Structure 1
Amino acid sequence: MSELENFDPDWLALREPVDHGTRSARLEELLAARLTGRDRVRVVDLGAGSGSTLRHLAPRLAELGVAAAQDWVLVDHDADLLARALASPVPAAASVTTARVDLADREAVREVLSGADVVVGSALLDVLPAPVADGLVEVLSTLDPRPAVLFVLTVTGGASTDPAVAGAAEGFDADQRARGLGPDAAGHVAAAFTARGWSVQREATPWRLGPSPLLTAWARGWFTAAGVAGPDPTAAVVPHEDLLAL
């Protein structure tokens, strides 16, 4: 049984355009530089959901000069989301397969990561319990050769709205910590990688939301998880962070 929750595909579709525009271009460029000159690249996308990272990163790598054929493996515990990913148009640079894997199962994770050149994950680390995140870094560190690792859009806490609502950020962050690493995830995982000899770079990638269906949906969930009531916001800043480990 997976320790991770299932995500509403409508929510994933709503956030996808903002996610694509928020990711760190600099870290993507560093990743692309690592891959130039190869004939094929095997990319394993952990917590792939409905395939948002594939739709963004496959053409982005090609745009940055990665001419290699890209073999993507989309990994998730939710079979319905993986089916949606397969039903979506596949970027020209990529071929796609899927694997249903529980990230708490280290041996299954080790098997699916074997031979990976790149491991990616979006909005993943903050929902992982600490033992699962630590196990993932451990497995990645035992691979030979080690892949490049790019985790993006990890929530880092302290979100704010206009108008401000007292206690909302603290309440939401506490709720996230009760479910997984929450806002401590990026620092926790960066330290785990560094302790095992990886070179880690991090960059803030906050959402800056104006009036939109995404703001409305996000605020509804934020207030509910925080256990507070608030007026409909006109704007919000939701801190995230991207992490590249080489």
Structure 2
Amino acid sequence: MAGFSPEWLALREPVDHAARNPQVLAAVGGYFAEKASLSVLDLGCGAGSNLRATYAALPDRQHWTLVDHDPALLAFARERLTDWADEAREQGEELVLAKDGKAITVDTRKVDLNKDLEWVLGWQPDLVTAAALFDLASKRWIERFVAALASQHLPLYAVLTHDGRETWQPEHPADSGIHAAFTDHQHGDKGFGPAAGPDACEIMAEAFRKSGFAISSGDSNWQLDAKHRPLREALAEGIAAAAGETGRLDPKTVADWLAARREAQSAMIGHQDFWARPI
């Protein structure tokens, strides 16, 4: 799986949290409202942002297992969670946290989700979560993942799956060309085979329907304005670099687009949140 730097994850976290669809999150919370405790498996956890954004909607006692392929990110997640919590202590391999009246234990595991997917889901959590993961995965892997969830009767709360929508203001003549090249790049192998990229949302929805899941979904778009300039600039640089790597565009066109986007007034990047549960 492609890696992401702690700096990038920290930069995007506030925007990720603001973008989450409140209706979808409320549906997840309502589903578990009668439970006193909950076990959660967070796939591709990065810096632990998904826990920080979701915990308040879940029961007062929670156990999270954070899995990622990158041991450096797992260590960073523990540091970030320790700083975030009202209280934190180590208990063996677990991190024990108190936050806003919630008691949260955290276990971190290095996992290859290509090789070990079914084994990990066999841990039988109450809830599986993931953020900004499925657009990186292949159609075949997504279908395998949904089949594994169905076999274990596990619900999924998946957030911030990129759906390909993107608008920048003011418009630029190279917008469509850059977007097309970037979309091509998104379909490259990110560690799970040829990535679904912006097709991931439709692939997931179809796979869940065929597997007999009930699905709720909603927009979780990034809305970037003047106060988000560092993230907007980093995003534009990443898009320009990816578009340039395809070789489809003249380098000057890419450079001109990037210069304009560094001064953009605003940007909208489309995402979807999903709540899928077995019927």
Structure 2 residue aligned with 1:122, among 112, 131, 134?
131
Structure 2 residue aligned with 1:110, among 97, 104, 118?
118
Cα pair 2:137 2:196 within 8 Å, conserved = yes
Structure 2 residue aligned with 1:235, among 262, 266, 271?
266
Separation of aligned partners in 2, 1:174 and 1:159:
15
> How many pairs does the alignment contain?
234
Corresponding position of 1:77: 69
Separation of aligned partners in 2, 1:101 and 1:136:
15
Separation of aligned partners in 2, 1:184 and 1:206:
16
Separation of aligned partners in 1, 2:214 and 2:53:
24
Corresponding position of 1:214: 231
Aligned with 1:203: secondary structure?
strand
Pairwise CA distance, 1:109 = 2.1
Separation of aligned partners in 1, 2:64 and 2:131:
15
Separation of aligned partners in 2, 1:147 and 1:32:
15
Output one character per residue of 1:207-237: Cα deviation in whole Å (capped at 9) or x when no partner.
1111311111111111221222311222111
Cα pair 2:40 2:129 within 8 Å, conserved = yes
Alignment of 1:86-97 (within 5 A): 86-88=78-80, 89=82, 90=85, 92=98, 93=102, 94-97=104-107
Aligned with 2:41: secondary structure?
strand
Cα pair 1:160 1:169 within 8 Å, conserved = no
Corresponding position of 1:100: 110
> Match of 1:77, as an amino acid?
H
Structure 2 residue aligned with 1:205, among 220, 226, 248?
220
Pairwise CA distance, 1:148 = 2.0
Stretches of structure 1 that go unaligned for 5 or more consecutive residues are none
Pairwise CA distance, 1:29 = 0.8
Separation of aligned partners in 2, 1:234 and 1:226:
21
Separation of aligned partners in 1, 2:34 and 2:275:
20
Separation of aligned partners in 1, 2:271 and 2:33:
28
Separation of aligned partners in 1, 2:71 and 2:213:
32
Structure 2 residue aligned with 1:21, among 15, 18, 32?
18
Separation of aligned partners in 2, 1:147 and 1:133:
15
Structure 2 residue aligned with 1:173, among 183, 189, 194?
183
Cα pair 1:207 1:239 within 8 Å, conserved = yes
Corresponding position of 1:161: 168
Cα pair 1:23 1:152 within 8 Å, conserved = yes
**What TM-score comes out, normalization by structure 1 length?**
0.91
Corresponding position of 1:224: 241
Q: Which has the higher strand share?
A: 2
Separation of aligned partners in 1, 2:136 and 2:30:
29
Cα pair 1:103 1:132 within 8 Å, conserved = no
Aligned with 2:179: secondary structure?
helix
Q: Does 2:198 correspond to 1:183?
A: yes
Stretches of structure 2 that go unaligned for 5 or more consecutive residues are 86-96, 190-194, 245-253
Pairwise CA distance, 1:6 = 0.8
**What TM-score comes out, normalization by structure 2 length?**
0.80
Output one character per residue of 1:100-154: Cα deviation in whole Å (capped at 9) or x when no partner.
111112xx222322221111100000011222222211111110xx222111001
Structure 1 residue aligned with 2:210, among 186, 189, 195?
195
Separation of aligned partners in 2, 1:178 and 1:5:
11
> Match of 1:61, as an amino acid?
A
Cα pair 2:165 2:270 within 8 Å, conserved = yes
Corresponding position of 1:137: 146
Please identify, of 37-46 and 157-166, the stretch whose mean Cα deviation from structure 2 is larger.
157-166
Separation of aligned partners in 2, 1:7 and 1:147:
27
